[in-house]
Amino acid sequence: MAGFRPKVKGLRNVPAKGPVIIASNHLSFSDSIFMPLVVPRKVTFLAKSEYFTSPGPKGLLKKLTFIALGQVPVDRSGGRRSEAALITGLKVLAEGDCLGIYPEGTRSPDGRLYKGRTGIARLAIESGAPVIPVAMFNTDKIQPTGKVIPNLHRVGMQFGKPMYFDGDSTDLLYLRDVTDQIMNVIQAMSGQEYVDTYAPKKSKPDEINVAGEED
């Protein structure tokens, strides 16, 4: 960790206890390693179940790695299964824990920030947990897609102020507005170019999309 000389701002914005949602941009697989290492409490991500069921020694290593990172497997095929993922996320928050989410639903294929999925809005509204927006920097240079051995490069991250939301979690327009508010803050912190479309599926999502209506 020291070799990457992490530069961290705003960590005091993460509550020391109680339910909280950490919402980050997503540049690299290593986001899920560096960010939880600096947060002074366990961060739970909802990871796709394939990471826990791959065959052979490599699959076992991957499974153990994700368990060590505190990730929870979810079948993210869509429809009712996406609803099940939402329920899993709400359970994590109901237990007073910290839930990590990548609202884009996948790693950015080109370094730009893509439109967020509304699952995060549903989680925030239904749980009442604050959302901490996070901007990650340089992790795409440290571990580009497909690269196993990371490059030495300084990683940066900025934690924004808590955002609170209430209202009707069944109102799709309101969910879109809440999600856009979160993405606007992430964009302002990260300085990324914003793309008002969902990130391409071919970039193989890492984290669960809990917004069934947008699958």
Asked whether the whole model's pTM tops 0.85, one would answer no
- Is the predicted pLDDT of residue 83 greater than 90, yes or no? no
pLDDT interval class at 208 (50, 70, 90):
very low
Q: How far is CA 122 from CA 18, 111, 134, 167, 213, in A?
A: 18, 26, 18, 10, 11
> What are the residue boundaries of the structural domains of the chain, listed by start?
2-214
Q: Which of 97, 55, 37 is nearest to 72 (CA)?
A: 97
Short-list 21, 4, 214, CA closest to 105:
214
Beta strands at 72-74 and 131-137: parallel, antiparallel or unpaired: unpaired
Fold of 2-214: Glycerol-3-phosphate (1)-acyltransferase (3.40.1130)
Please tell me the predicted confidence (pLDDT) of residue 150.
Answer: 54
Interval 164-201: pLDDT, tens: 999 999 999 999 999 999 999 999 999 999 999 999 87
- What strands, in cross-sheet order, belong to the sheet with 7-9? 7-9, 156-159, 131-137, 20-24, 98-101, 43-48, 72-74
Any idea which residue has 């796709």 for tokens?
A: 48
134 within 8 A of 188, measured Cβ to Cβ:
no
Least confident of 40-44, 53-57, 175-179: 53-57
